[in-house]
């Protein structure tokens, strides 16, 4: 299926970028513009080719909240504008394409509703005594598979779960007893419930009828997984007779295990779920069944305990049990899969050298074709005629929906934020390469300030990404958007050091066990290469900032490479590697990165421990942490601030008691950016 790349992407600058006109009526982007943007995604196509269904998240800054809306676009009417049908999330088509199911509040509980794509009144589909966490519609239109958080010893009796919750709320004692980890995970304390899949029968009117039936009986685990699992982790067979899902059994080793497996359970008959990937002790997930029902596609890692291992695309013949890797020569880690209507082509996304494109993978022989150019695709849906609807974005464009046609040019379908963007000025970016650790090629990018003038010198924001197995990609990010710094008058330098994704699995692997080694070499050489290539960077007025692993690296640089910097900003970073092991939630990460448990390998945790070098700190630092961050507990940030205060180094501590590892509330995002920029401007002001 030949397809051209998306003719969309970043307008790159050169080392001799001309001055940007400032005499027009535009202005640089501000964080208030960022939080006000409509966030478009999750495109869905159904049986009726007329309609495109999607989600839009919109912020209400005054109310300090964001809401999701169900939107449709009539693809058969020229010039038709998208329409918002209802407030709700996770919109999905009914099997016949005549109704849209979605999640919305019914009183205090999240339930499933439905509405016609033409509009009109919404109908409540479920009235359950617990929240609906997510759902899938069966291809035959007879059932819903709903994910509900329940006490597993209630054996599928939802009233039992409700009664226990009510009793807990009415009780006067607040203490809870735990006998195994996860006591808390990401931003929530465990309360004994697990996400489980239930079967809901639909009557002729499309309303849930009868008692929900537990499908994942005997699975002591979360389906979908926590904290970020969704309906990509479970799927019906094409005939609606089977349900496939991934789950990790919650034994005592759950916090240090990545052993997810793919399970299968029959809709009728009451049989126990069957494990289809028991032979692989690493991560198997994201099942997808071919249109003919004969092949199960899924993603699989090879190394137990390593969450950033390469996700390979696997094919399991459901009749014979034979399995194969679809594209063994493709050295990228695939994201969740979709399949063409004829079953010949798989679609996925992956990081690729600073971009996050859409790929087509031929199911028969694994031939991989990149379908999109520069930029990032977050969400896509194959059309019946071989086209793809993609939610595309880049540094200067928030996501909108585009149609990519076989052999044709992409066509923009939605134009959200167009009026806002017309009033804004952006920095211009260029990716560059240099020789990093061991002389190996490393990539980064430089972005001009929004009001760049040829011959000028500009202060610099040196951004350090988290993960650490992540990457700076060409996208319109809502937490770490380089355009906010460009809008405030800073140039931006960002380096995809060893450990970053999108270059090779060996490159990603290189950081494990070497947190303060190769990456620091790359950051130092990348900074030197950027200064040499881009003369508008003012080396004497630069601040380094990062979050998560980036926050760790800020603390590490404070003791090991502080000479170039006027200030640091460390968000949710690791300050003490040894205490971090005993305070975090997901131990598999710490044990892989530091070659085992801390008590067995203390030397690995101590080798690159920022705490050891506090005596060498000298640069002013802003420390930021969230009170609901259970990945890197807030005591890490408080300890770093204590070190600054005790050393007499200028510092501030910005604390968000209601935020997790990320800053999500609109008002908090504004405060975060205002505080960070004021801190950077204070220390990079001309003498």
Catalytic residues: 548, 629, 661
Residues 572-598 as b or e (16 or more Cβ within 10 Å = b) = bbbbbbebbbebbbbbbbbbbbbeebb
From the list 582, 598, 685, the residue with the least C-alpha distance to 635 is 582
Q: Who's near 167: CB < 8 A, 6+ residues apart? A: none
Residue by residue, what is the 3-state secondary structure of 132-152? Answer: EEEEEECCCCCEEEEEEEECH
Interatomic CA distance for residues 460 and 462, integer angstroms = 6
Interatomic CA distance for residues 443 and 454, integer angstroms = 24
Within 179-288, residue ranges assigned H as helices are none
DSSP E strands in 12-108: the ranges are: 27-28, 39-45, 51-60, 65-74, 83-87, 89-93, 100-106
Sign (positive or negative) of CA dihedral 551, 553, 557, 558: positive
Q: Is 574 helix (H, G, I), strand (E, B) or coil?
A: coil
Q: Which residues are 202's β-sheet partners? A: 208
Interatomic CA distance for residues 523 and 436, integer angstroms = 8
Phi-psi region of 353 (alpha: psi -120 to 50; beta: other; left: phi over 0): left
From the list 369, 358, 353, the residue with the least C-alpha distance to 403 is 358
Q: Who's near 115: CB < 8 A, 6+ residues apart? A: 70, 85, 86, 99, 100, 102, 121, 122, 123
Is residue 217 within 8 A of residue 195, CB to CB? The reply is no
What's the Cα-to-Cα distance from 439 to each of 282, 501, 533, rounded to whole Å?
Answer: 33, 19, 18
Q: Is 630 helix (H, G, I), strand (E, B) or coil?
A: coil
What is the rounded (10 degree) CA torsion for 454, 686, 445, 652?
-160
């Amino acid at each position: 299926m030949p397809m051209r790349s998306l003719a969309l992407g970043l307008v790159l600058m050169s080392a001799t970028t001309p001055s940007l006109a400032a005499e027009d009526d535009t202005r640089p982007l501000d964080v208030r513009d960022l939080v006000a943007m409509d966030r478009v995604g999750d495109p869905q196509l159904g049986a009726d080719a007329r309609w495109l269904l999607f989600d839009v998240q919109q912020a209400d800054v005054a109310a300090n909240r964001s809401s999701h809306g169900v939107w449709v676009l009539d693809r058969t009417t020229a010039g038709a504008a998208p329409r918002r049908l209802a407030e709700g999330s996770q919109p999905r088509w009914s099997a016949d394409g005549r109704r849209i199911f979605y999640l919305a509040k019914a009183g205090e509980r999240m339930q499933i509703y439905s509405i016609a794509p033409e509009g009109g009144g919404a109908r409540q589909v479920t009235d359950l005594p617990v929240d609906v966490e997510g759902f899938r519609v069966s291809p035959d239109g007879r059932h819903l598979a709903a994910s509900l958080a329940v006490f597993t010893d209630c054996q599928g009796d939802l009233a039992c779960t409700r009664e226990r919750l009510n009793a807990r709320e009415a009780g006067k004692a607040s203490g809870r007893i735990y006998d195994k980890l996860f006591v808390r995970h990401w931003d929530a304390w465990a309360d004994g419930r697990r996400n489980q899949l239930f079967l809901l029968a639909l009557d002729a009117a499309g309303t849930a009828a009868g008692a929900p039936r537990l499908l994942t009986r005997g699975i002591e685990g979360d389906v979908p997984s926590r904290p970020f699992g969704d309906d990509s982790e479970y799927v019906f067979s094409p005939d609606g007779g089977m349900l496939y899902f991934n789950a990790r059994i919650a034994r005592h080793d759950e916090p240090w295990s990545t052993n997810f497996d793919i399970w299968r359970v029959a809709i009728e008959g009451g049989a126990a779920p069957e494990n289809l990937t028991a032979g692989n002790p690493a991560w198997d997930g994201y099942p997808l069944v071919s249109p003919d029902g004969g092949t199960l596609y899924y993603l699989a890692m090879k190394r137990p305990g390593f969450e950033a291992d390469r996700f390979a695309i696997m094919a399991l013949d459901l009749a014979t049990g034979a399995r194969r890797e679809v594209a063994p020569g493709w050295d990228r880690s695939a994201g969740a899969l979709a399949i063409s209507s004829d079953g010949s082509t798989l679609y996925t996304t992956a990081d690729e050298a600073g971009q996050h494109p859409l790929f087509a993978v031929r199911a028969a022989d694994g031939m991989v074709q990149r379908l999109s150019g520069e930029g990032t695709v977050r969400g896509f849906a194959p059309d019946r005629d071989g086209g793809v609807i993609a939610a595309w974005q880049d540094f200067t464009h928030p996501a909108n929906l585009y149609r990519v046609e076989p052999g044709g040019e992409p066509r923009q379908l939605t134009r959200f934020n167009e009026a806002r963007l017309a009033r804004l000025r952006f920095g211009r970016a260029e990716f560059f390469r240099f020789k990093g650790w061991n002389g190996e090629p490393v990539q980064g990018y430089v972005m001009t300030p929004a009001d760049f003038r040829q011959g000028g010198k500009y202060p610099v924001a040196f951004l350090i990404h988290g993960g650490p197995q992540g990457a700076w990609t060409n996208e319109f990010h809502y937490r770490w958007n380089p355009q906010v710094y460009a809008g405030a008058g800073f140039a931006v330098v960002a380096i995809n050091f060893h450990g970053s994704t999108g270059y090779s699995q060996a490159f990603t692997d290189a950081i494990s066990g070497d947190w303060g080694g190769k990456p620091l070499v790359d950051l130092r050489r990348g900074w030197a290469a950027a200064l040499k290539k881009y003369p508008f960077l003012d080396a004497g007025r630069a601040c380094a900032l990062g979050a998560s692993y980036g926050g760790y690296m800020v603390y590490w640089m404070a003791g090991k490479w502080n000479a170039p910097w006027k200030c640091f900003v460390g968000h949710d970073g690791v300050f003490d590697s040894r205490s971090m092991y005993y305070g975090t939630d997901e131990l598999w990460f710490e044990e892989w990165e530091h070659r085992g448990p801390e008590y067995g390998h203390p030397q690995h945790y101590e080798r690159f421990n920022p705490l050891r070098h506090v005596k060498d700190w000298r640069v002013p630092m802003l420390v930021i942490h969230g009170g609901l961050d259970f990945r890197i507990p807030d005591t890490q940030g408080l300890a770093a601030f204590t070190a600054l205060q005790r050393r007499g180094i200028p510092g501030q501590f910005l604390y968000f008691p209601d935020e997790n590892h990320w800053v999500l509330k609109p008002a908090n995002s504004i405060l975060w950016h205002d505080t960070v920029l004021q801190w950077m401007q204070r220390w990079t002001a001309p003498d």
